[in-house]
Every structure is written in C-alpha cells, then in structure tokens.
Amino acid sequence: MSEDHTHVQEFFGARAGDWDRKFPGDGPAFATAVAGFGLRPGDRVLDAGCGTGRALTALRAAVGPSGTVLGADLTPQMLAAAQRAGRAAQGTLLLADVARLPLHDAALDAVFAAGLIAHLPDPAANLRELARVVRPGGRLALFHPIGRAALAARHGRELTPDDMRAEHNLGPLLAGSGWQMTSYADEDARFLAVAVRRP
C-alpha cells in the first residue's frame, strides 16, 4: 500500500463501517483457519492488523479464558467497529502500528495476521518486528479468506510471478525475517501460510 500511515488510515477508515457487511461470509473461513493454527489453552496471541476483529472470537475460543488475546490495528475506525460488534469482549484492542508494537520481546506465543502482508510498507522489517514479539518456536499465520487468484480477480488484476504471497517469494521473505514456513495453502476459498519463529 503506502508508507504514509495517513493514507492507510484514510483508506480503511472510510470503509470500516461497512467492512463486515461487505464480506458477510468470511466468518467460517476465519474460524477454520484459527482452529487449524495449533493454538492451545493459555496461549498469548496477537491478531495483527485486526481490523474489525473478525478473528477475535475464534482466537479467544482457541486460547480459552486463561489465554491472552490482543488485537492491534492502525485505524481507529476499524477498532471502533470491532467494539460496536461486541468483539472487544474477546480481547484487548490496541491502536498500534505492527511495525512498532508496544510489546516486550518474546511476549507472545503466536501472531495471526489476516490480509495484512499486502499492506506492510516494509514486509521484511515488519515481519522481523512480528518475530521480535514471539517466543522462539512460536507461530505466525498469514491468512486471507480467499486465495490469491480469487483476490486478484476481485481487484481486476492478473497474478504475476513477483506476487509477494507466491510460495517461491514468501518462503525466502519469511526465512530472512526470523521465520521458517511450515505449511502453505493457496486455494479458492483460503490463503494460509504458517511459519515458526526460529531460535
């Protein structure tokens, strides 16, 4: 997207009120992705770029009442929409830039990031920041409720070999940022890449 945070906030801020209505069928895809992510009761997990908080309920169910769920987003209107939808009850919402998270090193067991990577101004550096806040052996899920081809068609563009989310590009990007990709799925109904934080 843009390195200008004002532009990102304006883009998503203008769409926050209608976001959930625009994508009403995504809930089951979020729940399935979280269920297959390997979270355990008591885990500490961050929804990075949480938007309206569509993953928070599933994340809370996975980590249980003893776990910690955080949702961080750069756009106040998105967090306000999450609150209006009652999702703030599932976790703590933070107005924060995922490029500079207000968290200690190794504070988390996992990060779930839906639709985030395409909007990162410096993907390598930003993925390193996510690695910083996750303990060694912790996990990262890069998710989208539809696959790359369906998303490209939605935006009226063609897939190209330099697409950052292509497996041959994403694996090295993660490896250079403190992660090791352990699984990759790019299907019509979902995109899900899972990585483990290297020691």
What tens digit of pLDDT does each residue of 81-108 get? 999 999 999 999 999 999 999 999 999 9
Local confidence band at 154 (pLDDT 50, 70, 90 cut-offs):
confident
Least confident residue range of 13-27, 77-91, 99-113: 13-27
Among 165, 171, 136, residue whose Cα is nearest residue 151: 165
Local confidence band at 8 (pLDDT 50, 70, 90 cut-offs):
low
**Strand pairing category for 92-95 and 108-114:** unpaired
Phi and psi torsions of 174, nearest 5°: -65, -45
Kindly state the average pLDDT of the residues 130-147: 96
Among 95, 105, 109, residue whose Cα is nearest residue 45: 109
Kindly state the average pLDDT of the residues 71-77: 94
Q: Is the pLDDT of residue 1 over 50?
A: no
pTM above 0.85, yes or no: yes
Local confidence band at 125 (pLDDT 50, 70, 90 cut-offs):
very high
The predicted structure's pLDDT at residue 15:
67
The predicted structure's pLDDT at residue 17:
61
High-pLDDT (> 90) share of the chain, % = 73
Among 167, 163, 16, 47, residue whose Cα is nearest residue 113: 47
Q: Is the pLDDT of residue 78 over 60?
A: yes
Q: Which DSSP category does 124 fall into?
A: H
